[in-house]
Structure 1
Amino acid sequence: MRPLDPRTVRSRDAALASARELLIEQGLAGLTHGAVAARSGISRATLYRLWPEPTDLVRAALTRHITLARPEPTGDLRADLLTELTATRAMLHEPATEQGMRVMIERAAVDPRFAEVKEALYRSGTRAARTTLTEAVARGDLPAELDVDLAIDQLHGPLFFRRLVANQTFDLDYVRAVLDDFLRTHSPKNPHQQGNLVT
Structure 2
Amino acid sequence: MRPLDPRTLRSREAALTSARELLTEQGLAGLTHGAVAARSGISRATLYRLWPEPTDLVRAAVTLHITLAQSEPAGELRADLLTELTATHAMLHEPTTEQAMRVMIERAAVEPKFAELKQALYRSGTRAVRAILTAAVDRAELPAALDIDLAVDQLHGPLFFRRLVAHRTFDLDYVRAVIDDFLRAHPTREQGMS
TM-score by length of 2: 0.89
Give RMSD over aligned pairs. 2.0
Q: Deviations over 1:125-153 (max 9, x none)?
A: 00111111111111111111111100000
Aligned-partner SS, 1:162: helix
Structure 1: which amino acid aligns with 2:121? L
Match of 1:168 in 2: 168
Identity %: 81
Deviation at 1:29, TM superposition (A): 3.8
> What corresponds to 1:137 in structure 2?
137
Residues 151-176 of structure 1 deviation map (CA, whole Å, 9 limit, x = unaligned): 00000001111111222221111111
Map 1:151-162 onto structure 2 (within 5 A): 151-162=151-162
| Higher deviation after alignment, 160-169 or 31-40 | 31-40
Shift of 1:189: 5.8
CA-to-partner distance for each residue in 1:32-84, whole Å, 9 max, x for gaps? 22232223221111010010000111100110111122232222211111111
* 1:164 alignment partner AA: L
Tell me the residue number matched to 1:197.
none
Comparing 133-142 and 92-101, the one that deviates more: 92-101
Once residues 139 and 71 of structure 2 are traced to their aligned partners in structure 1, the CA distance between those partners, rounded to angstroms, is: 21
CA shift at 1:23, angstroms? 3.7
Gaps of 5+ in 1: 195-199
Secondary structure of 2:79's aligned partner:
helix
1:21–1:187: structure 2 CA closer, same or farther, 3 Å change rule? farther
Q: Which residue is 2:12 aligned to?
A: 12
Report if aligned partners of 2:84, 2:129 keep a CA contact under 8 Å in 1.
yes
Report which stretch shifted further, 101-110 or 159-168: 159-168
In structure 2, the residue matched to 1:110 is 110
Using a 3 Å threshold, how does the CA distance of structure 1 residues 32 and 107 change in structure 2: closer, same or farther? same
Q: Give the C-alpha shift of residue 104 in structure 1.
A: 1.0
> Structure 1 151/100 Cα, relative in aligned 2: closer, same or farther at 3 Å?
same
Shift in alpha-carbon separation, 1:67–1:26, aligned structure 2, 3 A: farther
Assess, with a 3 A threshold, how the Cα gap between structure 1 residues 8 and 61 changes in structure 2: closer, same or farther.
same
Structure 2 CA distance for partners of 1:29 and 1:86, relative to 1, 3 Å: farther
Higher mean alpha-carbon deviation, 121-130 vs 20-29, is at: 20-29
- In structure 2, the residue matched to 1:34 is 34
| 5+ residue gaps, structure 2 | none
Residue 72 (structure 2) aligns with: 72
Measured at CA, do residues 71 and 18 of structure 1 come closer, stay the same or move farther in structure 2, by a change above 3 Å?
farther
Higher deviation after alignment, 61-70 or 93-102: 93-102
Counterpart Cα distance in 2 of 1:81 and 1:25: 31
Cα shift at 1:179: 0.4
1:172-191 equivalence runs, <5 A: 172-188=172-188
